[in-house]
Amino acid sequence: MKRREMIRASLFAGAAAAVRPPLSAAQSTAMPSELTPAQSGVDASKDLSAPGWKPLFLDEHQNETLIILSDLIIPATDTPGAKEALVNRYIDLVLAAESSEAQRSFLNSLGYLDGESIRRYRAAFRYLKREEQDDLLHALAYPRTASGWSGEADATPDLGHAHFEALKQRIATAYYNSQIGTKELGWDGAFAHGPYEGCTHPEGNHK
Amino acid sequence: MSNYLFLVEDPLQQTYDAIVVGSGATGGWAAKQLAEAGLKVALLEAGRAVTPKEFTEHMPAYKLKYRDHSPEIVRTRPIQKQCYACMEYNYEWFVNDLENPYSTPAGKPFTWQRLRILGGRSMVWGRQSYRMSDNDLKAASRDGYGDDWPLSYADLAPYYDIVENYVGISGAAEGNEMLPDGKFLPPMKMSCGEIRLRERVKAKFGYTVTIGRTAILTQNHKGRLQCHYCGPCERGCSTFSYFSSPFTTVKDALASGNCTLITNAVVSQVNMDNAQNKASGVTYVDRLTRQVKEVRGKTVILCAQALESTRILLNSSTREYPSGLANSSGALGHYLMDHVVGGGASGRLADFKVLPDANEPARPNGIYIPRFRNTPTSGKHPRFIRGYGFQGGAGADFNFDAEGYGASFKKAVKEGVYSISMGAFGESLARWDNYCEIDRGLKDAWGIPALRISMTHGDNEHALMEDASATAAEMLEAAGAKDIKVQANVEMPGMAIHELGTARMGTDPKKSVLNPYNQAHDVKNLFVMDGASFVSSACQNPTLSMMAITVRACDHLIDRFHKTDV
């Protein structure tokens, strides 16, 4: 949302507030810049689905890789998955605003995925067959356990798993904070759910 | 005033009976009590007014541009964002760190989380409300460390009653020797896991697990509606169900017709009539225009938050009080405290097959385990004095940490995990070498000299957290928890957001700044009625006690005022 629109939105919010302020008119009104967009009533939920969307940070290859990866990690089932939730677009938006360290860390993880893919299949991740993508993710998704021979835990850090977890964390956060993800968790879209009933089990039988 | 370019004086300006600096939990009470007693009050707030129109408690995260990962917070609130309550929804309520600097010595980090808005931190506070007992107020007599408070539980109890009756505290009476019962609204309910913890901890340890005592209404109360359990109080409450001063005490003060609210008034110093050794008012910088203005008053009451009130006094030095106003004792700035946090444990109650429910009412409260170490009945602990209380909770959560990926991950997230956790708040001992002073090389955006804060947690605080971590794990194990993870770090000072001390009260003017009625020993018409006055921190969340102490001090002030004795 453009700054001018934000100011307008907050002016309307101010007009509505005049209906019944709980405090006396002695209150000074806030300057628009002193409200967060949320406090001004800005609804940014449609921003990412705007036509003509282009990534702010990711290049085309990275973006396409992220779309495929996100859809493998959270696929459409009987409910929509990460691709439909435009998880790639949200991650791109956040990355564009983050520190160069955070940006580099994300690209390192995405690059590791391509590196492993090229090492194993001689092609970048996005060009693999679906089964190959699945095999590769499966190899990274679970932490390496200790080798049975020495009886000691593997001292080298499980780099592949760490990169996988970093990417998965981003994707899962983006998905479950999206409108689609919120619905996936079963939220009915209403607030004010009280009263809180707590435990309703008979004494000593909490199952 | 030589450091200011221009001073605006209003020739028609009246002299108020009382100037209250700060509109938070304590300032709101001071303004209400004094205005309702007939005093003409000026209530000064450094921030702007707040209206319910900007409350966002019912807005889902997907409506936020960054879904609560806003880079604006990182840019302008690098310190404030350490507070869980500072988020993309409401970060403008928190101070802009770039405009409000302070310094710390190398190796002594301190996080100072604060709001400048009508109501101050009462807009986002944790709402947990516990009384102190004589075990806290007279702790020095019992274990030999530090100083007793110059007042006892019997002095405070009637004021706890007044505050609780007005604020509305939900909770359960337990008859615990360390945690006096209060005037409670009906308690919130406990979850299955919490009830099991309560039963097992009582059986195995003999300790009490109770529902959190919280300043949230469980029934309609004095014109405010009961809680509707939407969850995120810190984004504002459209039904005013949690206590915040703008919609309660400040509203009452204004309704009395005796209180003038001046917002955007960044107070820089208390002004003195040196000939009479009396405060004559305060100087403030208009936050928006940067004009310097003065308000005159017969009494000055600082309720700006412990460190801010002390900063104002340190910035108000005169020839008579060269090291800070009302600081003949030298104690001003010293004995800074903040509860030690970081010890605790979490786990899973695997046998509870309860699915998480996104539509379930969200209880904005947890459980509380009152202090059980170094009590009259427990005997002395060999490794530390004082003690800690636990706060925690148990319930079914979505399992976002489920392993794997794909459809099975999606399913596992919804199957959830029944988790249980608890974290300790430990007493922070009052120590001379934990202090704040003016940093001569640092000013805020309004030209007001900033603080240098020097504080560390000591050996006793570290020992408290070690014991808390081990004990939390034992309690969770007793409750049948699996995968117990022990949290054993000591967070940096400031993380509890319970800053206390720096203008302590006492009977001896050589060792304390304030008398037992929050009145400066040195300057009779100057009061500090906030956490700065605390002699010791106890381990209970302090806001309820700060409010009770304020109401008590106001009673004294009103009495003296009518006898023209201040």
Asked if the structure places residue B274 within a domain, the reply is yes
- The DSSP letter of residue A201 is S
- The answer to whether residue A29 sits within a structural domain is no
State residue A5's pLDDT score. Answer: 38
Based on the fold, state whether residues B259 and B206 are members of the same structural domain.
no
Q: Which residues of A touch B56 (CB under 8 A)?
A: 36, 38-39
> At CA B251, angle to CA B246 and CA B257, rounded to 5?
145
Instruction: Indicate if B411 and B485 belong to the same structural domain.
Output: yes
Would you state the pLDDT for residue B9?
53
B-chain CB neighbours of A23 within 8 Å are: 49, 51, 246-247, 250-251, 254
Tens digits of residue pLDDT in A32-65: 469 999 999 999 999 999 999 999 999 999 999 9
Residues of A in contact with B73 (CB under 8 A): none
State residue A146's pLDDT score.
52
User: For residue B4, what is the domain's CATH number?
Assistant: 3.50.50.60
User: B66–A187: do the CB atoms touch at under 8 Å?
Assistant: no
Domain with A100 in it: 53-143+157-187
**Residue A207 belongs to a domain:** no
Q: Where are the beta strands (DSSP E) in B352-458?
A: 367-369, 388-397, 417-426, 435-443, 449-454
Vertex A154 angle, CA A148 and A158, to 5° = 125
- Model pLDDT, residue A144: 74
Q: Do B62 and A42 touch (CB under 8 A)?
A: no
What is the tally of structural domains in chain A? 1
Q: Is the pTM of this model over 0.95?
A: no
Tell me whether residue A3 is in a domain.
no
Do B229 and B260 lie in one domain? The reply is: no
Shortest Cα–Cα distance, B118 to chain A (Å): 10
In a domain, A82, yes or no: yes
The interface pTM score, or ipTM, of the predicted complex is: 0.89
Domain boundary among B475, B492, B509: B492
Inside any domain, residue B484: yes
Based on the domain organization, do B307 and B330 belong to the same domain? yes
pLDDT of residue A130: 96
Predicted pLDDT of residue A145: 65
Residue B225 shares a structural domain with residue B85: no
Per CB-CB distance under 8 Å, the chain A contacts of B261 are: 24, 26-27
Mutation for B interface: A90, A199, A200, A205, most B CBs within 10 A = A199
Q: Is residue A200 part of a domain?
A: no
Q: Which of B218, B209, B156 is nearest to B369 (CA)?
A: B209
Q: Is B66 helix (H, G, I), strand (E, B) or coil?
A: coil
Structural contact between residues A198 and A109, judged by C-beta atoms closer than 8 angstroms: no
Q: Which residues of chain B have pLDDT under 70?
A: 1-12, 565-566
> Do the domain assignments include residue A19?
no
- What is the model's pLDDT at position A147? 52
Judge: B91–A26 Cβ closer than 8 Å, yes or no: no
Q: Token match 């014109």: residue?
A: B223
Whether A17 shows a pLDDT value over 80: the answer reads no
- Alpha-carbon torsion B491, B115, B363, B540, what sign? positive
A134: chain B residues, CB-CB within 8 Å: 406
B155 domain-assigned: no
Based on the domain organization, do B185 and B331 belong to the same domain? Answer: no
Task: Judge: B362–A193 Cβ closer than 8 Å, yes or no.
Answer: yes
- Nearest CB partner across the interface for B189, out of A14, A34, A196: A196
Please say whether the beta carbons of B448 and A112 come within 8 A.
Answer: no
Whether the pLDDT of residue A153 is over 90: the answer is no
pLDDT digit string (tens) for B307-332?
999 999 999 999 999 999 999 999 99
The distance of A121 to chain B (nearest Cα, Å) reads 21
DSSP B312: H
| pLDDT computed for residue A194 by the predictor | 77
> What number of helices (H) and strands (E) belong to chain A?
7, 0
Cα(B537)–Cα(B132) distance, integer angstroms: 10
Q: Which of A6, A10, A39, A167 to mutate to test the interface with B (most CBs of B within 10 A)?
A: A39
Q: Are residues B190 and B262 in the same domain?
A: no
pLDDT for position A201: 78
| B345 shares its domain with B435 | no
Q: What is the pLDDT of residues A111-147, one digit of tens each?
A: 999 999 999 999 999 999 999 999 999 999 998 765 5
| Domain with B312 in it | 1-149+243-338+430-455+498-566
Rg (CA), chain A: 23
Do B250 and A23 lie within an 8 Å CB cutoff?
A: yes
Angstroms from B528 CA to nearest CA on chain A: 25
If one counts the domains in chain B, the total is 2
Question: Helix (H) and strand (E) counts for chain B?
Answer: 11, 20
**Structural domain includes residue B162:** no
A119 domain residue, yes or no: yes
Residue A111 lies in a domain: yes
The verdict on a CB contact (< 8 Å) between A201 and B192 is yes
- For the stretch A64-102, pLDDT in tens is 999 999 999 999 999 999 999 999 999 999 999 999 999
Are the C-beta atoms of residues B479 and B193 closer than 8 Å to each other? yes
- Same-domain pairing of B102 and B23: yes
Residues B136 and B56 in one domain: yes
Of B63, B68, B362, the CB nearest to A45: B63
Of A17, A22, A36, the CB nearest to B89: A36
Cβ contacts of B35 on chain A, cutoff 8 Å? none
